[in-house]
């Protein structure tokens, strides 16, 4: 499997001042390409990576916040325009609040263009083509329904959320790679995002073969993500990589 980082900005400042690109990441299995959390700029940033929206088989949201979902409708529309002459099927998966009510971020007329949509539920599993998607326990993240996700039992994703040991214990142990949205260098009270020390605690629980940190706010960028990755690796003995815009990781 392959992971491509469309953008690595996290938080309002680095995302909306465009200090780094944003747009989530892409996972490529043998026959399935998934775009996870297509936030602001995903449409253009995917093109700069050499992908096209219609290369995607499924779009996935971990939660509804704008830095994870801003381009979801654009990406689905473009994917269907690009494949309108083919029989390729397209799916979308997200928590319930992305589809319904005052919080929904996926427009009704866009949803109708997809061939399948998955409404993520805690402890549920879904399959699209050759990609298995396991949904873990619900995280705490400022009122948005937010789930950890595992792909093909090889790659786990800890999205933006408060560090909760009883939740993290449900992540599969010794997984090939764990992607962590490490927004802050230092802990910030009453903000449901991971910091460096949270990541160290998580890795000591989950013990993946590799950790990848991404989704950086301005203080992480000031500290230097590569320096922070080394700090984490030194304290956990887990190989830790700091993602950068356009990074490609092959498992």
Q: How far apart are CA 89 and CA 204, in angstroms?
A: 40
* Helix (H), strand (E) at residue 21: none
The Cα 112–Cα 34 span in angstroms is 19
Which among 198, 226, 192, 222 has a CA at the least distance from the CA of 212?
226
CATH of the domain at 172: 3.60.15.10
Is residue 27 within 8 A of residue 248, CB to CB? The reply is no
Residue 53: half-sphere exposure toward Cβ, Cα within 13 Å:
23
Distance in angstroms (rounded) separating the CA atoms of residues 233 and 226:
11
Query: Pick from 29, 20, 25: which is nearest to 6 by CA?
Result: 25
Backbone φ and ψ for 148, nearest 5 degrees, come out as -75, 150
Give the separation between CA 202 and CA 2, rounded to whole angstroms. Answer: 23
Parts of the chain with a pLDDT under 70: 85
pLDDT in tens, 110-141: 999 999 999 999 999 999 999 999 999 988 78
Which pLDDT value is given to residue 85?
65
Closest CA to 41 of 13, 15, 60, 5: 15
Domain tally, the chain: 1
pLDDT of res. 81: 86
The pLDDT of residue 60 is: 99
Question: What was the pLDDT predicted at 36?
Answer: 99
Domain that holds residue 74: 2-250
225-236 and 196-206 helices, crossing angle to 10° = 40
In sequence order, what are the residues at sequence separation of 6 or more whose Cβ sits closer than 8 angstroms to the Cβ of residue 87? none
């Amino acid at each position: 499997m392959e992971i491509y980082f469309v953008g690595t900005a996290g938080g309002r400042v680095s995302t909306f001042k465009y200090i780094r690109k944003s747009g989530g990441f892409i996972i490529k299995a043998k026959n399935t390409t998934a775009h996870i959390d297509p936030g602001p700029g995903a449409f253009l940033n995917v093109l700069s990576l050499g992908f096209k929206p219609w290369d995607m088989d499924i779009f996935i949201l971990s939660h509804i916040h704008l830095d994870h979902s801003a381009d979801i409708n654009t990406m689905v529309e473009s994917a269907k325009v690009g494949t309108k002459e083919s029989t390729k099927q397209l799916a979308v998966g997200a928590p319930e609040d992305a589809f319904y009510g005052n919080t929904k971020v996926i427009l009704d007329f866009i949803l109708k263009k997809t061939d399948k949509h998955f409404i993520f539920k805690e402890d549920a599993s879904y399959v699209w083509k050759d990609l298995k998607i396991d949904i873990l326990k619900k995280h705490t993240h400022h009122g948005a329904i937010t789930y950890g996700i595992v792909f093909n039992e090889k790659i786990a994703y800890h999205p933006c959320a408060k560090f909760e040991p009883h939740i993290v214990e449900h992540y599969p142990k010794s997984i090939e790679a764990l992607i962590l949205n490490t927004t802050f260098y230092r802990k910030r009270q009453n903000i449901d995002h991971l910091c460096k020390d949270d990541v160290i605690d998580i890795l000591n629980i989950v013990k993946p073969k590799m950790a990848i940190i991404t989704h950086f706010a301005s203080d992480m960028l000031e500290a230097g993500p590569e320096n922070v990755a080394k700090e984490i690796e030194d304290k956990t003995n887990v190989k830790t990589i700091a993602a950068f815009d356009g990074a490609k990781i092959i498992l």
